[in-house]
Amino acid sequence: GVPPASAAPTAVPAATSGYYFLDAPPAAAPSDAPLQALADQARRAAPDSHLDGIDLRGPRAADAPLPGQALQGPGAAPQYYFVHAVQLPNGFVTPAKPHPHAAPGAAAGHAAQQDRHPGFDIQAVRRDFPILSERINGKPLVWLDNAATTHKPRQVIERISHFYAHENSNIHRAAHTLAARATDAYEHAREVVRRFIHAPDAREVIFVRGTTEAINLVAKAWGGANVGEGDEIIISHLEHHANIVPWQQLAAAKGARLRVIPVDDQGQIRLDEYQKLINDRTKIVAIGHVSNVLGTVVPVKQVVEIAKRRGITTLIDGAQSIAHTPVDVQDLGADFFVFSGHKIFAPTGIGVLWGRREVLEAMPPWQGGGNMIADVTFEQTVYQPLPNTFEAGTGNIADAVGLGAALEYVERIGIAQISRYEHALVDYGMAQLASIAGLRLIGTVPGKASVLAFTLDGYSTDEVGQALNAEGIAVRTGHHCAQPILRRFGVETAVRPSLAFYNTFDEVDQLVREVRKLAARRR
């Protein structure tokens, strides 16, 4: 949505109370020469790999500016695009385009371990993540705690560093260059999110702290205005506490009722029982896309379709799906989709609430303060239009920029290709763990994503986690903020290895080997 540098600045009255800066002077970027040398070396080592189609320097060409830099030559006069604070600029919203992952290409892999899943160059990916070179207790780090948080590629780390070194400013309201750069970078990230989730309108993308804040925003703002005494809210047995507690609080405050979709013994929701729960009192269905404990991929499109036939509002919690499967919010059909940046290789403390425009515009603001107001008197306040309505105060600007860089990185690899690789990795891990005597897998739905939760006879989950850590293997143990679903399977805690696209079959083998040693000692 950024106008070309040759476009004339839009004139506005001098009394304009606020501005959006959509272009800015160029800023020096760090040299890409060392990274290009690494990329060239990798290509020479693997000429037939998919590296030939991927720029390992990051999600931009060598001669392209970072977001927040102008597309104009050296010495050119800075051009700013000023727009009245209550209006978004013409052309700001980029029309929806075909989903970039609709028809992914596949190329032949080359690494020995990739014989089990050709077409994905895992070593090229791993070189982008500095922390994967860490050693824990003298052993190479094996990071299998991705459902809790993912690591950050150097492209994201460098993008955030560049922001603080060259662009740092508050956004939207200042007639100076750094504000222009910062605003451009921030709004570019919003457009990247729109493109990544295939939303129709960038104004529907609201930056929040993460999935938890997004769900709370909907529960407080939408729920406060639309749920009353005797109404019902439907969730599932699979939910993370973040998609349980806000609805419990809303139900308690309004005199409403929380209804729960049960799951079968494999860990999939029962659509037949869900349809029995739906009735004229149902106001919202809030459902997780992927379980953070079982890895179950929920048929959310069917859940939404059933609710839509009754005119019921729907929310999808995409915290555990966003990094593992293509997301098209228009195809899913829900009214809200939420996710956290740190689950998809972006910083902590940044996330997204996407909402259907007409639904968002009918909601009252959740918080009040600066940035979300157009005019304030002691008698009344006029609020900004979307997205500012729900972005009160100074947001997490730098990490929103980092989120945009992370999504661009994933786009360059290809989310559909990532999904295929991870499913092969999960299937392999499930089969190997299932062969260990005394190990019980929790959640066995075919086609599950990311998670390999289990318990091991003779050991507490903490003991297993500590033993794995001694070998450099990081897993999560405990209740995983999802106590109801664990109790549904008769346990209070579980060991939860969870995978991302930078994990390898060899790392799964290491996990299985260490767990097998533990099992042999206690049999």
Name which residue leads in pLDDT, 246 or 24.
Answer: 246
pLDDT at 469 (0 to 100): 98
Confidence of residue 121 (pLDDT cuts 50, 70, 90): confident
Residues 43-77 pLDDT 10s: 444 333 333 333 333 333 333 444 434 333 333 33
Confidence of residue 81 (pLDDT cuts 50, 70, 90): very low
Confidence of residue 352 (pLDDT cuts 50, 70, 90): very high
Distance between CA atoms of residues 290 and 36, nearest Å: 37
Query: Which of 56-70, 114-128, 245-259, 273-287 comes out lowest in average pLDDT?
Result: 56-70
Residues 148-191 pLDDT 10s: 999 999 999 999 999 999 999 999 988 899 999 999 999 999 99
* pLDDT, mean over the chain: 83
Mark out the alpha helices in 142-176 (DSSP H runs): 154-166
Residues 470-511 pLDDT 10s: 999 999 999 999 999 999 999 999 999 999 999 999 999 999
pLDDT at 120 (0 to 100): 64
Q: pTM surpassing 0.95?
A: no
In the predicted model, is pLDDT for residue 41 greater than 60? no
Give Dmax over CA atoms of the chain in angstroms.
Answer: 80
Annotated catalytic residue 481: yes
Confidence of residue 210 (pLDDT cuts 50, 70, 90): very high
Closest CA to 404 of 68, 88, 144: 68
In the predicted model, is pLDDT for residue 348 greater than 50? yes
User: Of residues 5, 474, 481, 491, which has the active-site annotation?
Assistant: 481
Distance between CA atoms of residues 259 and 485, nearest Å: 15
Half-sphere exposure of 14 (CA within 13 A, CB side): 0
Q: How far are the Cα atoms of 229, 433, 454, 519, 522 from residue 457, in angstroms, in the given order?
A: 47, 13, 10, 8, 8
Confidence of residue 3 (pLDDT cuts 50, 70, 90): very low
Closest CA to 384 of 211, 173, 224: 173
In the predicted model, is pLDDT for residue 30 greater than 60? no
Assess contact for 34 and 43: CB atoms under 8 A.
no
The full DSSP string for 48-98 is TSGGGG--TT-SS-TTSPPTTS-SS-TTPPP------TTSPPTT-SPPP--
pLDDT at 516 (0 to 100): 98
**What average pLDDT does range 239-249 have in this prediction?**
98
Assess contact for 463 and 493: CB atoms under 8 A.
no
Name which residue leads in pLDDT, 22 or 344.
Answer: 344
Residues 404-454 pLDDT 10s: 999 999 999 999 999 999 999 999 999 999 999 999 999 999 999 999 999
Distance between CA atoms of residues 285 and 113, nearest Å: 43
The full DSSP string for 407-429 is HHHHHHH-HHHHHHHHHHHHHHH
Task: Please count the other Cβ atoms lying within 10 Å of the Cβ belonging to residue 87.
Answer: 13
- Give me the count of residues in the chain: 523
Distance between CA atoms of residues 399 and 346, nearest Å: 8
Percent of residues, the chain, with pLDDT higher than 90: 75
pLDDT at 130 (0 to 100): 98
Distance between CA atoms of residues 119 and 49, nearest Å: 8
H or E element in which residue 375 lies = strand 373-376
Q: Exposed e or buried b for every residue in 183-222, given b needs 16+ CB within 10 A?
A: bbbbbbbbbbbbbbbbbebbbbbbbbbbbbbbbbbbbbbb
pLDDT at 159 (0 to 100): 98
111 CA to centre of own chain: 29
Assess contact for 480 and 496: CB atoms under 8 A.
yes
Distance between CA atoms of residues 367 and 522, nearest Å: 55
Amino acid of residue 11? A
In the predicted model, is pLDDT for residue 100 greater than 70? no
pLDDT at 523 (0 to 100): 58
